[in-house]
Amino acid sequence: MVDCPPGMDCPGDPCAIVIFGATGDLTKRKLLPSLYNLSVKGLLPRDFALVGVVRKPMDDEAFRELMTREMAEFATAPVDAGLWAEFRARLHCVSGDLDRPETFRDLAERLAELDREHHTGGNAIFYLATPPDAFAPLVRQLGAAGLVREDGARWRRVIVEKPFGRDLDSARALNDELTSVLRERQIFRIDHYLGKETVQNILVFRFANGIFEPVWNRRYIDHVQITVAEELGIEGRGAYYEKAGVLRDIIQNHIFQLLTLVAMEPPSTLGAEAVRNEKVKVLDAIRTMQPEEILGATVRGQYGEGLVGGKRVPSYRQEPGVAPTSKTETYAALRLLVDNWRWAGVPFYVRSGKRLARRVTLISIEFKSPPLMLFRGAGVEAIERNRLEMFIQPEEAIAVRMKAKIPGQAIRLADVDLRFGYQDFGPQMPATGYEHLLYDCMVGDATLFHRWDQVEAAWRIATPVLDLWASLPARDFPNYAAGSWGPSAADELIRKDGRKWLNPP
């Protein structure tokens, strides 16, 4: 790891990054711009190389030309010609069939050459930007070729994209495959949501401000809502989405991770293992629902035709690659209970969906109502609860909603916001969300990556719901219009508890 003074941003460790799926969508939209952005910030090591592994014949120059065209289209900010020229010179390519051992022997030879050329120290990150069914075969090939063996100070790490399995059994089978070749510390299960600044700020907000932690418990908090809403549909990913659905795609990983950051106990340090230990404790404390509980505490939906942004859009069943009688959910809402001393009796309402009214990721912590006796004499019959709102995307902000008196003789109350936005720190360089995670992998910091016991605990919660939904297919799909906030049954789920969803305008 780079010897860097505390609180300073220093370049990552010398290394080569090998991307399997280097000509795919993830690489051009996220990985390539993120690595360039790290270079702009001075966080990419000068002793660095990027190797794209591709199936079709391609030499270094053709690969560089392709990456240059894709950067011109997908860069998050204007590209500096001089800096790109330096970056481009460190792009390399290995062509071959990923089913053939010869491809991996060629890759091993190329990495040895690049170590001599770029002084990478023999360190390498292997990024599996591929379909999930390729994860295990690729790791087996890497192991057989000796590419993940660590000698002396040389390290080798593997980044695995989601989804990590389809349910508890398949996740365990995949983990067994990976750990037969790799040590747990070599596996970096990535979740790009955890790279967003506001997500990382949750820990600082909770534990660096003495005014919040004393009230961060069941005595003062009424409930928590977590919403991940998207205006977009499935964007040509019908074949993938038919096998996934929103519970697997968003809730089991992204939303559960946001929940752990909200609900975890203070860790002993900010070290990776201390933080991840507390996160897994939260997941272990979430009550596993029995079938009759699932029926009362979950809602699923599928979007029909509707208006989004003033334009008519088709139903999910009309999307390319989707069965005309599909039972796949594009919306899900769950009421979860964390059975520990801090949170017992405080419901966590989580929801996510496609083709909703607007794109937003929002965490809302709603505090308990104050007594009304003091204000009834002034004609105040109800006081809306105080809320703490954490906006993750598209804006990144934190706001506390509180009550204040409107000027005048009478006692009249109004909501006011105490608000912090990242623009308060000045102009920010546009980012993809992957920069922080790629850098952390370079320096060996696994804090923001999923450890296996976290993955296992998350699937333990989600799998019973998936199993019940599979055994009792929905009969009312589609049950919400595109451009709405989801099915009416989701409103009823929270309304029967005397609460309502917070729907941003």
Catalytic residue numbers read 254
CA distances to 52, 100, 104, 113, 363 from 92, in Å = 6, 20, 15, 11, 42
The answer to whether 71 and 84 have CB atoms below 8 angstroms apart is yes
Hey, what amino acid is at 76?
Answer: T
Q: Which residues of 85-119 are buried (b: 16+ CB within 10 A; e: fewer)?
A: eebbebbbbbbbebeeeebbbbbbebbeebbeebe
Residue 83, token pair as written in the block: 């800096």
State the virtual CA torsion across 497, 502, 503, 505 in degrees, nearest 10.
Answer: 140
Helices (H), strands (E): how many in the chain?
17, 17
- How many Cα atoms within 13 Å fall on the side-chain side of residue 52? 28
- Cα–Cα distance measured from residue 10 to residue 43, given in angstroms and rounded to the nearest whole number: 6
In 69-164, DSSP assigns E strands to: 91-95, 124-128, 156-160
State the virtual CA torsion across 141, 146, 149, 151 in degrees, nearest 10.
Answer: -170
Please list, in sequence order, all residues whose beta carbon lies within 8 angstroms of the beta carbon of residue 376, skipping any fewer than 6 positions away: none
3-state helix, strand, coil in the chain (%, to 5): 40, 20, 40
Q: What is the largest CA-CA distance in the chain?
A: 84
Residue 495, token pair as written in the block: 């309304």
Three-state secondary structure call for residue 37: helix
Q: Which residues of 365-374 are buried (b: 16+ CB within 10 A; e: fewer)?
A: bbbeeeeeee
DSSP notation for 397-432: EEEEEEEEEPSSSS--EEEEEEEEEGGGG-------
- Cα–Cα distance measured from residue 433 to residue 394, given in angstroms and rounded to the nearest whole number: 12
- Cα–Cα distance measured from residue 72 to residue 91, given in angstroms and rounded to the nearest whole number: 16
Distance of alpha carbon 404 from the chain centroid: 36
- Cα–Cα distance measured from residue 129 to residue 278, given in angstroms and rounded to the nearest whole number: 29
Residue 51: enclosing H or E segment and its boundaries? Answer: strand 48-54
Q: Which conformational region is residue 397 in: left (phi greater than 0), alpha (psi within -120 to 50 degrees), or beta? A: beta
- Cα–Cα distance measured from residue 501 to residue 251, given in angstroms and rounded to the nearest whole number: 17
Distance of alpha carbon 378 from the chain centroid: 47
